[in-house]
Amino acid sequence: MAYADTSIPAHPSGAQALSDSAACGLLRREDARLLRGQGGFVANRQVPGMLHAVFVRSPHAHARITAIEASDALALPGVRAVLLPEDFVGLRQPRVNALLPGMCLPQAELLPLDRVLAVGAPVALVLADSRQEAQAAADLIWVDYQDLSPVLDFAPDSAAETLYPGMPSRQALHQHIAVGQLPKHAPSAAVQLGLPRVAASPLEPRAALVQWDEAAQTLSAWLSTQTPSRAREDLAHALGLAQSQVRVVATDVGGAFGAKASVFAEDLMLAWAALRLQRPMRWLASRGEDLLAGTHGRGSQLQGQLWLAPGSPQFIGLAAQMQFTLGHWLPFSAAAPLRNATRILPGPYRVLAQEVQAEGLLSHAAAVGIYRGAGRPEACVLMERLVDEAARRCDIDPLALRLANVWAAEDLPRQLPSGEWLDRCDPSALLLRAAERFNYTERRARQQAVRGDARTLTGLGIALYVEPCGQGGESVRLTALEGGGYLLATGATAQGQGRETAFSLIAAEALGCAPGEVEVLHGDTAQCPAGIGALASRSTAIGGSAILAAAAELKQKLAEGAPRPCTVELFHTAPNEAWASGCLMVELHIDRDTGAPTIKDVVWVDDAGVLVHPTLVHGQLIGGLAQGLGQALMEKIVYDDSGQLLTGSLMDYALPRAEDMPPVHIESLPTRSAANALGAKGVGEAGCIGLPAALLNAAHDALAQIGITEAQLDFPLSAPALWRAMQAAPASPSSSL
Ligand code: SMO
């Protein structure tokens, strides 16, 4: 492992680290707790009299329920209650963010009375004095199922089926963005590829502890969530309570990656039961339950075409057709991946005309939600594959073709014809700096000298990416305390990414005090103003800008003689959306006998705007890279033809380990964001966006060395997949098989 330097030269735009001396300091005590194993997760929390919840789950992908028998289960010692579908009548599916025009949403009961729509869907809830007793009882509940045929992911005939009355399974979500007229002649490049479903795999699986206080008529919910305010709204709505009657607490969250941005059926069922039984209760999902019934990520099939001007390297047309599987219910951000993928194309490139279409399809499988990148990886990999393919077919070096088509820094920021606003960035500088660090020209020459002669194929892969970091605003309440010091309560939350450290730095810099004088509160709706949370790489860019605005106002009030305690509370909306960007270059080796891929090294130049805390930025980049590596090389959720999940444990679902990490050389080349006062861009998703695209390009580049140019490679780039692709090679005298 080589987590190399993070050198941070200032860019001509003036962006640099906010506070170099403080930035290189230690994490705050509150953040460091997590690294020391002292976090307080839901699984660490008990309340007196707490019951333990276990869900009975459907073993069928699609079936009619004709009978349920729970008397044996109820007779077991320690079992306090079994709740069946009829006990949840009145609970509706939680709301969905209407991100797309004309969205058609299921208006359905949370639990259908007589049907199951996916393997793992909850059918009953068992509550007992211990988790073991609850599990034993769940195993004794007898359900009579009548099998129905399931609609599988991307089923060509799914138009004929409906999961929800009145709602088409095909095109449940759709988007069409057209700008200009596409050329009439054949495209210069065409590609297609698939991204399988993957699992977010946070350290703490989903978890909830709920407690109803009958005297106060309030519900407290300790949830492993990245959006406490949203969860409070959903819980209040589901239970028919006022928001003021619900408190959600999510102080320590063991990672989330998008998969904890929505409430789940289990959360609502648990809260519903706590209210009715008047007992506190806790549910801790097992790893298998998260793989089975958490939200998955990706799950898309992409096609695209790119046109170059005749006799010139200019991009004149881009078309994309994308399909996203949705699974059997829609989490809050179900439309986000599809929307992001369509709106981000063509990335940092100028293209005269574009026509981008996407559709989302329901199926009898786990729901697909946002997952680190949320559509950005799809846009990036499709565009970057098209650029490489056009370069190969037109015999132009892929670096040169990119340099010929990216936006010039002086033309940014700008409103694009698609309606998107592209932030200030410098794609040429990213490409050139990465090429220099990577020794691109020398490596290319070396590769061309060897070509297909070696036992190992070498591929060079480039990916340029953009990372829009969320729209809207964030809340903050900042108080100058009577006895000195400050209390900062934010609506942006933490998932283990060091928010207390970063937020106290931002506030301290603006207030002119030491970071240690700022205490940070987050994740508790009783202590923090209602806000958005931590997602879409937005917490520093938007949450941080809100802190800056509050600090400026507070400072002015104090300067005007306002007495302490003095509070400023506001919801600050960022004027625009920050877009981070970056460039990755990788060298990939493929063993010709086995197909085994090995990443020799990765060079990565990232532009996250003003860096508040370079060490935290570095950690986020490395973490995102590791997750992107998992998606690119090994992770894949697999269902069989009857809708059964074949990857139900980490014995079957491959996560990357430390030893899988290649040497990574990261450099920051920040340009100040023009979107917000802080000048910061996001950073959390970058690795997941850029690395898979660079690796896929490298794999195709390697195969091209032995004349294989027509293979369709999908993720993950496993040894068997690469080996099979190589078998199409024309017989070569140098092959000693
Ligand atoms: S995939 Mo993210 O938490 O918006």
Question: Among the atoms of ligand 1, which is closest to the Cα of residue 371?
Answer: 1
| Cα 623 to ligand 1 centre (Å) | 14
Q: How confident is the model at residue 737 (pLDDT cuts 50, 70, 90)?
A: very low
| Cα 77 to ligand 1 centre (Å) | 42
Residue 535, ligand 1, Cβ within 6 A: yes
Q: Percent of the chain scored above 90 by pLDDT?
A: 88
- Residue 163's pLDDT is 87
The best mutation among 253, 376, 532, 535 to test binding of ligand 1, ranked by most ligand atoms within 8 Å of the C-beta, falls on 535
Task: Give pLDDT tens digits for 231-246.
Answer: 999 999 999 999 999 9
Task: Give pLDDT tens digits for 131-148.
Answer: 999 999 999 999 999 999
* Dihedral (CA of 174, 180, 186, 188) sign: negative
Residue nearest to atom 4 of ligand 1 (CA): 536
DSSP state letters, 534-603: S-TT-IIIIIIHHHHHHHHHHHHHHHTTPPSSEEEEEEEEPSS--EEEEEEEEEEEEETTT--EEEEEEE
Residue pair 195/377 in contact (Cβ under 8 Å)? The answer is: yes
Residue 534, ligand 1, Cβ within 6 A: no
CATH architecture of 470-573: 2-Layer Sandwich (3.30)
pLDDT, mean of residues 95-108: 86
Task: Give pLDDT tens digits for 315-333.
Answer: 999 999 999 999 999 999 9
| Cα 241 to ligand 1 centre (Å) | 28
Residue 253, ligand 1, Cβ within 6 A: no
| pTM score above 0.85 | yes
Three-state secondary structure of 409-429: HHHCCEECCCCCEECCCCHHH
Task: Give pLDDT tens digits for 573-598.
Answer: 999 999 999 999 999 999 999 999 99
pLDDT, mean of residues 712-729: 95
| Cα 516 to ligand 1 centre (Å) | 30
| Cα 722 to ligand 1 centre (Å) | 30
Asked whether residue 24 carries a pLDDT value surpassing 60, the answer given is no
CATH 1.10.240.10 fits 296-406+428-445+463-469+578-726, yes or no: no
CA distance linking residue 274 with residue 222, whole number of Å: 13
Asked whether residue 736 carries a pLDDT value surpassing 60, the answer given is no
Question: Among the atoms of ligand 1, which is closest to the Cα of residue 538?
Answer: 4
Residue 371, ligand 1, Cβ within 6 A: yes
CA distance linking residue 632 with residue 696, whole number of Å: 8
Task: Give pLDDT tens digits for 642-689.
Answer: 999 999 999 999 999 999 999 999 999 999 999 999 999 999 999 999
| Cα 288 to ligand 1 centre (Å) | 22
Residue 329, ligand 1, Cβ within 6 A: no
Residue 372, ligand 1, Cβ within 6 A: yes
Question: Among the atoms of ligand 1, which is closest to the Cα of residue 369?
Answer: 1
Closest CA to 373 of 143, 135, 688, 674: 688
Q: How confident is the model at residue 458 (pLDDT cuts 50, 70, 90)?
A: very high
pLDDT, mean of residues 58-69: 97
| Cα 621 to ligand 1 centre (Å) | 15
Asked whether residue 528 carries a pLDDT value surpassing 50, the answer given is yes
Q: What is the CATH number of domain 202-293?
A: 3.30.365.10
Q: How confident is the model at residue 8 (pLDDT cuts 50, 70, 90)?
A: very low
- The strand pair at 281-284 and 51-57 is best described as parallel
| Cα 226 to ligand 1 centre (Å) | 9
Q: Across all residues in the chain, what is the average pLDDT?
A: 93
| Cα 76 to ligand 1 centre (Å) | 42
- Residue 254's pLDDT is 87
pLDDT, mean of residues 87-116: 91
List where CATH 3.30.365.10 sits in the chain.
Answer: 202-293, 296-406+428-445+463-469+578-726, 470-573
Asked whether residue 119 carries a pLDDT value surpassing 60, the answer given is yes
pLDDT, mean of residues 703-722: 96
Task: Give pLDDT tens digits for 502-518.
Answer: 999 999 999 999 999 99
Question: Among the atoms of ligand 1, which is closest to the Cα of residue 373?
Answer: 1
Cis peptide upstream of residue 670 (ω within 30 degrees of 0): no
